């Protein structure tokens, strides 16, 4: 999460926004965000519905485990990686997507 | 006949020993640094710095996201935990790009596992990596474990991001610090040059 916070200015440059999703409750997330000085939203996803709703739930697993998902303006999942985020890979991917226009809000997600 | 056999055996063993030496030579792994004629080290064609004296051992840690963290460590005379370590850190704790904010964020987590209360001994602006920077000297004590640490943290800028250098010197609560190690660290920081743009600057 700290890595995402460091990269916020770059995400903004690539017209991307970051959301953290956790199964922890709201009070725990507030404490966590405060301890790391995070300024981007953290969503409390205690029932794991978010993973299901964006179709990013791992098959056969009842929980939304650590994954990085990039969704474009049209709601299409463009990138899914399991495990700890590879920040350089994420940034390169966002840069590429932005250059193609898929994350440009003025084009409605169309290239 | 027996003497000739023994001679052949000795020759064979010597050949085997020598061929073993040759094998070791070819199996040497490439190191990420090279020495210059001026006595500096060039690390992965990205950084150049003055290395510490030979009694310091190289320390390398893979940072999150493949960022480069490396440093040097030395065992000091005296009772446990007499040790000094210094390092370059591409992504020091915290997120802010302002030095004062980053310092606050950094010390929330620096040596977190040791559960120390830090006392700031000195804080001043400094020239780091050819630009503005911040130096902070602190001391932390643990009366339960009877340990103490003196640390110096130097923040500088690499592009838009803050990078850091730090040295920690651990001692028994009754021990005395060896400030000459801090002079070695200062020379390392002062000599440190960025030879190319960081990944983040190229985006």
> In this structure, what token pair is assigned to residue A22?
């956790």
Is A10's CB within 8 Å of B203's CB?
Answer: yes
Which residues are CB-neighbours of A99 under 8 A, at least 6 positions away?
none
Residues 54-93 of A with CB under 8 A from B: 84-88, 91-92
Name the closest residue on chain A to residue B106, using Cα atoms: A36
Q: For residue range B117-164, list pLDDT tens digits in order.
A: 889 999 999 999 999 999 999 999 998 999 999 999 999 999 999 999
The answer to whether B132 touches B102, Cβ cutoff 8 Å, is no
- Does any CB of chain A come closer than 8 Å to the CB of residue B25? no
Q: In this structure, what DSSP letter does residue B175 have?
A: -
Q: In this structure, what DSSP letter does residue B201 have?
A: G
Q: How many domains does chain A have?
A: 1
What distance in Å separates the CA atoms of residue B85 and residue B46, rounded to the nearest whole number? Answer: 22
- Does any CB of chain B come closer than 8 Å to the CB of residue A33? no
Name the residue range of residue A102's domain: 2-107
Q: For residue range B44-65, list pLDDT tens digits in order.
A: 899 999 999 999 999 876 655 5
Query: In 10 A of CB A54, how many CB atoms?
Result: 14
CATH number at residue A85: 3.40.30.10
Q: For residue B94, which of A102, A6, A52 has the smallest C-alpha distance?
A: A6
Is B203's CB within 8 Å of A3's CB?
Answer: no
- Does any CB of chain A come closer than 8 Å to the CB of residue B201? no
pLDDT of residue A67: 85
What distance in Å separates the CA atoms of residue B75 and residue B55, rounded to the nearest whole number? Answer: 9
Q: For residue range B7-35, list pLDDT tens digits in order.
A: 444 444 444 344 444 444 445 567 788 99
Residues of chain A positioned with their CB less than 8 A from the CB of B198: none
What distance in Å separates the CA atoms of residue B82 and residue B72, rounded to the nearest whole number? Answer: 15
Between the alpha carbon of residue B130 and those of residues A53, A105, B40, the distances in Å are 50, 39, 18
Which residues are CB-neighbours of A18 under 8 A, at least 6 positions away?
A4, A7, A8, A11, A40
């Amino acid at each position: 999460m700290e890595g995402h916070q460091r990269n916020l200015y770059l995400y903004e440059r690539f017209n991307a926004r970051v959301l953290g999703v956790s199964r922890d409750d709201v009070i725990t997330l507030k404490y966590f965000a405060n301890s790391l000085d995070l300024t981007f939203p953290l969503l409390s996803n205690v029932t794991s519905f978010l993973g299901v709703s964006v179709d990013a739930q791992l098959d056969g697993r009842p929980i939304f485990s650590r994954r990085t998902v990039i969704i474009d303006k049209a709601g299409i999942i463009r990138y899914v990686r399991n495990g700890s985020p590879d920040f350089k890979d994420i940034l390169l991917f966002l840069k590429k997507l932005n250059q193609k226009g898929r994350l440009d809000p003025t084009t409605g997600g169309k290239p | 006949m027996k003497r000739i056999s023994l001679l052949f055996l000795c020759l064979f063993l010597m050949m085997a020993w020598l061929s073993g030496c040759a094998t070791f030579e070819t199996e040497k792994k490439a190191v990420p640094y090279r020495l210059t004629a001026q006595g500096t080290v060039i690390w992965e064609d990205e950084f150049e710095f003055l290395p510490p004296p030979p009694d310091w051992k190289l320390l390398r840690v893979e940072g999150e996201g493949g960022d480069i963290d490396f440093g040097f460590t030395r065992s000091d005379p005296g009772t446990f935990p007499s040790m000094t370590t210094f390092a370059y850190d591409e992504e020091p704790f915290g997120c802010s790009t302002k030095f004062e904010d980053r310092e606050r964020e950094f010390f929330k987590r620096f040596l977190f596992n040791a559960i120390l209360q830090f006392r700031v001994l000195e804080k001043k602006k400094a020239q780091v990596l050819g630009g503005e920077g911040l130096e902070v000297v602190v001391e932390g004590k643990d009366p339960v474990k009877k340990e103490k640490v003196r640390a110096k943290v130097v923040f500088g800028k690499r592009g838009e991001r803050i990078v850091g250098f730090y040295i920690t010197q651990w001692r028994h609560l009754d021990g005395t610090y060896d400030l000459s190690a801090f002079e070695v660290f200062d020379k390392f920081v002062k000599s440190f040059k960025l030879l190319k743009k960081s990944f983040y600057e190229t985006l």
